[in-house]
Amino acid sequence: MSALFTDRLWRKVEPIWNSYLEHPFVKGLGDGTLDQEKFKHWLKQDYVYLIDYARLFAIGSAKADDLEKMTTFAKLLHGVLDVEMDLHRKFAADFGISKEELESTEPSAITTAYTSYMLNLSQRGGVENVVASVLACEWSYNFIGKSLAKVPGALDDDNFYSSWVEMYSSDEFTELAQETKQLMNQIAEGKPEQELAKLEEIVVRTSQLEYMFWDMVENKEDWPVNI
Ligand SMILES: Cc1ncc(C[n+]2csc(CCO)c2C)c(N)n1
């Protein structure tokens, strides 16, 4: 049996993802010390990020060549719109931020760069580009969630961000990440090295964009870009 493509990807992204765990924003979620103004910035930017991210799954569903993959994308689409974005809406309600305000957030330059990169590749390529584009986001948040869940007190009620940690480390999200990894492995099987290298590049670049997203929210950058 050949080695799994996601094992090869893991070796590439592991150092980048480990650096997320050292990032002050991520650390602050685990120990509860994160400035709530910074968190509000994440909520808003992430909400508009997720709207475009959801479109990626719709593209994946349209490009899928069998019902099984079509169904997986549809499940992932539901996961973003009704589960993950609901966490954002609940946190926003606690802050007195309305759904309308969340939705009308102007994307920062990094948010636009990140979503545009994924949408561009997904529209240009086949279903393999869609899966490679969404993989790091899903898998890395699950990686962060599971790592933070091990921080003493991270899941306790007195950590304001415990529901964040709980959600991204949950069995449900672990399963979603697992399904996407399986999809990636299925699609990669039998592909020539030249194509695998292109998919690997997408996963590495999106991992770097994830880091920039953490930096953007930490620094509350909100300068937009019009493209
Ligand atoms: C910048 C950014 N990157 C990744 C995620 C996490 N994420 C995006 S979609 C998905 C799976 C299904 O909802 C997960 C876990 C996020 N929220 N924001």
What are 122-137's pLDDT values in tens digits?
A: 999 999 999 999 999 9
Mean pLDDT across 156-177:
95
Pocket probe for ligand 1: among 42, 138, 172, the residue whose CB has the most ligand atoms within 8 Å is 138
Of the pLDDT bands very low, low, confident and very high (cuts 50, 70, 90), residue 227 is low
**Residue among 2, 32, 211 nearest 110 (CA):** 211
DSSP the chain: -PPPHHHHHHHHHHHHHHHHHTSHHHHHHHHS-S-HHHHHHHHHHHHHHHHHHHHHHHHHHHH-SSHHHHHHHHHHHHIIIIIIHHHHHHHHHHTT--HHHHHTPPPPHHHHHHHHHHHHHHHHS-HHHHHHHHHHHHHHHHHHHHHHHTSTTTTSTTSTTHHHHHHHHSHHHHHHHHHHHHHHHHHHTT--HHHHHHHHHHHHHHHHHHHHHHHHHHTT-------
d(CA 142, CA 213): 16
Instruction: Inform me whether the pLDDT recorded for 225 exceeds 90.
Output: no
Residue type, 155: L
Of the pLDDT bands very low, low, confident and very high (cuts 50, 70, 90), residue 8 is very high
Q: Residue 210 is encoded by which pair of tokens?
A: 């994830």
Residue type, 148: L
Cα–chain center distance at 45: 13
Domains of the chain: 5-218 (1.20.910.10)
Cα–chain center distance at 124: 21
Q: Which atom of ligand 1 is nearest to the CA of 168?
A: 15
d(CA 198, CA 56): 18
In percent, the amount of the chain with pLDDT more than 70 equals 98
148 or 68, greater pLDDT = 148
From residue 100, alpha-carbon distances to 40, 60, 191, 222 in Å are 15, 27, 44, 18
Instruction: Inform me whether the pLDDT recorded for 226 exceeds 60.
Output: no
Instruction: Inform me whether the pLDDT recorded for 160 exceeds 60.
Output: yes
> Any binding-site annotation on 46?
yes
d(CA 135, CA 196): 14
Q: How far is the CA of 1 from the centre of ligand 1 (A)?
A: 31
Instruction: Inform me whether the pLDDT recorded for 74 exceeds 90.
Output: yes
- In this structure, the residues whose C-beta lies within 6 A of any atom of ligand 1 are 46, 49-50, 53, 76, 79-80, 84, 137-138, 141, 173, 176, 210, 213
What's the complex ipTM? 0.96
Q: Residue 58 is encoded by which pair of tokens?
A: 């719709």
Classify each residue of 191-225 as buried b or exposed e, where b means 16 or more C-beta atoms within 10 Å of its C-beta.
eeeeebeebbebbbbbbebbeebbebbbeebbeee
Can you give the pTM of this predicted structure? 0.96
